[in-house]
Homo-oligomer: A and B are copies of this chain.
Amino acid sequence: MKIIVDAFGGDNAPLEIIKGCAMAVEKFEDVDIILTGDEETIKKVAEENNISLNRMEIVHAPDVISMADHPTELMKSKKNSSLAVALRMLSEGKGDAMVGAGSTGAMLTGATLIVKRIKGIQRPALAPVMPNASGKFMLIDCGANAECRPDMLVQFAHMGSVYMKNVMGVENPRVGLANIGTEETKGDELRKETLQLLKKEPNLNFIGNIETRDVAFDGADVVVADGFTGNIILKTYEGVASMISKKFKDVFKKNIKNTLATALMLGDINDLKKSLDHNEYGGAPFLGVKKPVFKAHGSSKAITICNAIKLTRDFVASDVIGKIAADISGETAKQDK
């Protein structure tokens, strides 16, 4: 399996990206890497840091698309950027999947315009897998589509369900619609219409509305939202988790007494930290495009990239895209009746 990696995406590129790829190659025998980016720099960084480029092919791409560039520059002035080259190669079948930690907007634009949508899919969605009280859940969409129609949310529900089952190993994933109350009459028109559509869907374990208070407590395996609401949930979630963790950390470091007390249970606190760390989950797939495209967190370290490659490998191996296509064409057939 060949996974194309944008060596120049993310805050810690290219060093942590190259390191993460080397980790993945060592860990997964069936994975070869194609790195896109400035060839000379990649070779120099690898050499300086004693990183083996074994089973890694470098495809030269001199430009970098930055957060400051408009995403559509990917098709114009930045068509020789590491991201554009990676997505073009994926589209042309020169690799099985693509991983990047760069600008979400540019990756979404590129995935939609270069890799293109699965037939029948109205809009691709960005769908992070996040930690909760007892494991993990998928939030779909979390920002690709600020305004949505009910039928788009129904497709998100299907795509999320297929991914959680096949990549994350959740049997019969529970799908909930993020809303301001559990009753059927709650929410705005988008929620009310979507709820009625989701209730009628076959092949979906739809459990109804879910209040966002319950999202952190494992209320559903797939939380469905329009991109605006999903992004609000994602960022509130990250912000509050980070703030509360920081507050505890401040207590632990307040004085010598507290530092010593904390040292007595450091292993357990580190385990907790790890269980809540998004780096453990690697990032978010773009669901709805024709080939697997996986967004790693912008602040990705080597371990995050390695995890992202692992998830992308499972994404390819379990043929999630074929299954989404089959699911959606069934849905389309049903609607055509």
A45 in contact (CB, < 8 A): no
- Asked if A133 and B232 make an inter-chain contact with CB atoms under 8 angstroms apart, the answer reads no
Instruction: Choose from B211, B239, B247 the contact partner of A213 (Cβ within 8 Å).
Output: B239
Whole-angstrom CA separation of A242 from B229 in the bound complex:
21
Please indicate the chain B residues that have their CB under 8 angstroms from the CB of A239 in the complex: 212-217
Say if the beta carbon of A187 comes within 8 Å of chain B: yes
Q: A238 on the interface (CB 8 Å rule)?
A: yes
Considering the chains assembled together, what is the distance between the CA atoms of A265 and B254 in angstroms? 10
Chain A residues bordering chain B, tally (CB within 8 A): 53
Map CB proximity to B onto A215-239 as digits: 1 under 8 Å, 0 otherwise.
1110000000001110111011111
Listed A/B pairs (24) with beta-carbon separation below 8 Å? A180-B227, A180-B228, A180-B232, A180-B235, A211-B235, A213-B238, A213-B242, A214-B239, A216-B243, A217-B239, A217-B243, A228-B229, A229-B229, A232-B236, A233-B236, A236-B240, A240-B240, A247-B272, A247-B275, A248-B272, A251-B272, A257-B265, A260-B264, A262-B265
Known: A147-B189, A229-B229, A258-B264. 17 other contacts (CB 8 A): A133-B246, A146-B186, A146-B187, A212-B232, A212-B236, A213-B235, A213-B242, A214-B239, A232-B232, A237-B240, A240-B240, A240-B241, A240-B244, A247-B276, A254-B268, A261-B262, A262-B265
